Amino acid sequence: MSAARWFLPAASAVLLSGVLMASQEEAPTNEKRSGLDYVSPETRAMQEDDTSNPGMLWVLDGETLWNRAEGENGQSCASCHGDAEQNMRGVAARYPVFDTDSKFPVDLQGRINQCRQARQKTDPLEYESDALLALTAYVAHQSRGMPVAPGADSRLAQFHENGRRLYEKSIGQLDLACSSCHDERAGERLAGAIIPQAHPTAYPLYRLEWQTLGSLQRRLRNCMIGVRAEPYAYGSLELVELELYLMSRAEGLPVETPGVRP
Amino acid sequence: MARTLVNVPETARAGEIIEIKAMIAHPMETGHRVDAKGATIPRNIINRFECVYDGATVFAADLYPAVSANPFFSFTTVATRSGAIRFIWTDDQGAVETASAEITVT
């Protein structure tokens, strides 16, 4: 009777040491890891099944909006861009890009609003509105599984450099830079949560804490408020520069939109 | 706008246990929050969810303010005959949202 009982602790001890060894082997921090690698198995399962991923509600809305005529010309996104599944594939993997008209970098949300104003002749959508998040998520979703591949555009160099500077600059009353946590302490804990490497490959993503979809800009502002700094405004150049730098850091990781995070 | 997401197997054998998933976009406003001016935001939650299949309610739930936004249900039932599986969500304002999915039982 007791043979099995004796055996069990021994077996679990062996198992435990196996787990410890595995986690030590995973230690090298130069290895890029998506934030998905740090979430609980339940959250991961929620993201990976499209019928349980709440972000898919926005993706479906985005598909409706993509085909809806807006503005005085009565044009929809599809009027010019056609089938998003074909023509938007890979777009999110290379954004933000250089905008030749304004001579500034533009992210996906900025591009959608630019298109609305210049081509559809209608009002831009408000940041974090369901409509803008839905369209952005729908476009980004077309690149799911593709590696992040920022183009080498020399016109972006100064903005990229500024993004890196912002990432490494200490801010706020807590005097912390993005890099203080996401480079120097990635994989360690901030209270109950594991600090990810800050690869923004799943945006817009569904954050369980927000109970809604949110953009990368919301996430960045969130962190700035967290270190008690004054956050940059939605749509500001600084946030786009940070996005630009972060996407270049994430090069090669697959796009996950819509992601699910705690 | 598409506000619901339901998943039902397209085909099943009679007597087979099937998994059904249903999600709806809803703010699930608790009634305990205040807006920027300090006024209470009135409660508006989905208070009832039902799933009807083959003339019977196969699953139903009463919901309360602690349930998060965009509630998701996953449950099982036994496949009996081909037809529609219907989903009904009712919120505090009396708004009723429905969805339906077809299953072929062999």
Q: Note the pLDDT tens digit of each residue in B62-91.
A: 999 999 999 999 999 999 999 999 999 999
Q: Summarize the confidence of residues A218-243 as an average pLDDT.
A: 97
Q: In this prediction, what percent of chain A has a pLDDT beyond 90?
A: 84
Q: How far apart are CA A84 and CA A59, in angstroms?
A: 12
Exposed, middle or buried: residue A86 (CB in 10 Å: 0-12, 13-18, 19+)? exposed
Please classify residue A37 by burial: count the beta carbons closer than 10 Å to its beta carbon, then call 0-12 exposed, 13-18 middle and 19+ buried: middle
Kindly report the nearest CA distance between residue A124 and chain B, in angstroms: 19
Q: Nearest residue of B to residue A131 by CA position?
A: B1
Q: In what order do the strands lie in the sheet with B72-78?
A: B4-7, B17-24, B72-78
A253 class by beta-carbon count within 10 Å (0-12 exposed, 13-18 middle, 19+ buried): buried
Q: Which of A77, A178, A181, A223 is catalytic?
A: A223
Which residues of A are less than 8 Å from B1 in CB distance?
60-61, 64, 134
Average pLDDT score over residue span A199-217: 96
User: Chain B closest CA to A76's CA: distance in Å?
Assistant: 16
Place of tokens 């009565």: A74
CB of A109 within 8 A of CB of A124?
A: no
Q: Does A49 score more than 70 pLDDT?
A: yes
What is the per-residue pLDDT across B5-46, written as a single tens digit (0 to 9) for each? 999 999 999 999 999 999 999 999 999 999 999 999 999 999
pLDDT at res. A192: 86
Q: How confident is the model at residue A31 (pLDDT cuts 50, 70, 90)?
A: confident
Distance from CA of A225 to the nearest CA of B (A): 18
Q: What pLDDT does A180 receive?
A: 96
Residues of A in contact with B28 (CB under 8 A): 211
The per-residue pLDDT for A18 is 44
Closest by Cβ to A211, choosing from B3, B5, B68: B68
**Element housing B98 (H / E):** strand B96-105
ipTM above 0.90, yes or no: no
* Residue A9, pLDDT score: 44
Residues of B in contact with A262 (CB under 8 A): none
Per-residue pLDDT at A250 exceeds 60? yes
A27 versus A235: which is more confidently predicted? A235
pTM: predicted TM-score of the whole model, two decimal places = 0.86
Checking if the pLDDT of A23 tops 70, the result is no
Listing DSSP states for chain A in one string gives -HHHHHHHHHHHHHHHHHHHHHHHHT--TTS---GGGGS-HHHHHHHHSTTT-THHHHHHHHHHHHTS-BTTTTB-HHHHH--HHHHTTTHHHH-SEEETTTTEEE-HHHHHHHHHHHTS-SPPPPTT-HHHHHHHHHHHHTTTTSBP-----GGGHHHHHHHHHHHHS-BTTTTB-HHHHHTTSTTSEETTEEPP-----S-SEEETTTTEEE-HHHHHHHHHHHTT-PPPPTT-HHHHHHHHHHHHHTTTSBP-SSPEE-
A79 pLDDT more than 60: yes
Is B72's CB within 8 Å of A60's CB? no
What percent of chain A has a predicted confidence (pLDDT) above 70?
89
- Does the active-site annotation cover A77? no
pLDDT of res. A27:
44
- Distance between CA atoms of A232 and A241, rounded to whole angstroms? 11
End-to-end CA distance of chain A: 44
Give dist(CA A128, CA A126) in Å, integer. 6
Q: Which residues, 6+ apart, have CB-to-CB distance to B92 below 8 Å? A: B43, B44, B45, B47
The reported pLDDT for the residue numbered B2 is 53
Residue A2 pLDDT greater than 50, yes or no: no
Mean pLDDT for chain A? 89
Structure-token pair, residue A118: 């210049």
pLDDT at A6 over 70: no
Q: Could you give the C-alpha distances from A89 to A36, A108, B51, in angstroms and in order?
A: 22, 13, 37
* Residue with the two structure tokens 């250089």: A98
Q: Which residues of B touch A (CB under 8 A)?
A: 1-3, 5-7, 21, 23, 25, 28, 68-70, 72, 74
State how far the Cα of A121 lies from the Cα of A124, in Å rounded to an integer: 9
A192: its two tokens:
């109950």
The pLDDT-based confidence of B3 (bands split at 50, 70, 90) is confident
Selecting from B6, B69, B74 the residue whose C-beta is nearest the C-beta of A211 gives B69
pLDDT at residue A5 greater than cutoff 80? no
